[in-house]
Amino acid sequence: MASLRQTAKCHATPAALLGALVVPVCIAHPAVDIGVDSIYRYRGYYVGDVVTPTAVWGNLGDEVSGFRAWFFIVESDTGRAYAESTDVPGIAPGDTVLLTFPSYRLSFYVRTYTFRCSTAAAGDVHFDNDTCSLRFTTMRA
C-alpha cells in the first residue's frame, strides 16, 4: 500500500523581517487523499455472465475521510451500460474498504467492456489515484 501523504505550508518567522537568520516553521495541514486501490475480477468472463462489481478504495491521507465511490461498466459497442455509486461515511488513514455494487448481466454477444471506478472526496489533494480501469473481452463458453 502507498505511504501516507501530508501537505505542509511553511512560513518564515518574524525574524526574517529583521534580517536575522531565517528559520522556517512548518505547520502541518491534514491531507485528504482517497484513492481507488483495485478492481476485483474473475479469471475470465463469458457472454451472458452475471457480474458483481467489486473494488477496493483506500484512505492514503492523514485524516478520517468520507467520500463517494462510483463503479461504471462501459460496453464498447453501446457506451456506458452501468453506473452505480455509494457514499462511504468515513475511513481511517491507512485503511481500505471493499465495496460491492448491484449485479449486472453482460451481453449474450461477445463484447469488450471496461470496468471503471472513481471517487470524489471534498478537499482531496491527489487526483492521480482517483480512477482505475480494467478492460476485458467476453468469451463464448
Query: Could you tell me the residue ranges of all domains in the chain?
Result: 32-137
Secondary element (H or E) of residue 66: strand 65-75
Q: For the whole model, what pTM was predicted?
A: 0.77
Query: Are the C-beta atoms of 26 and 8 separated by less than 8 Å?
Result: yes
What pLDDT is attached to residue 47?
95
For domain 32-137, the CATH superfamily is Immunoglobulins (2.60.40.10)
Sign of the Cα pseudo-torsion (124, 126, 127, 130, in order): negative
Q: Specify the 3-state DSSP secondary structure of 106.
A: coil
- At 75-100, the pLDDT tens digits run 988 887 899 999 999 999 999 999 99
What pLDDT is attached to residue 29?
53
**Residue numbers in the chain where pLDDT is lower than 70:** 1-30
What pLDDT is attached to residue 34?
95
What pLDDT is attached to residue 41?
87
Query: Are the C-beta atoms of 72 and 115 separated by less than 8 Å?
Result: yes
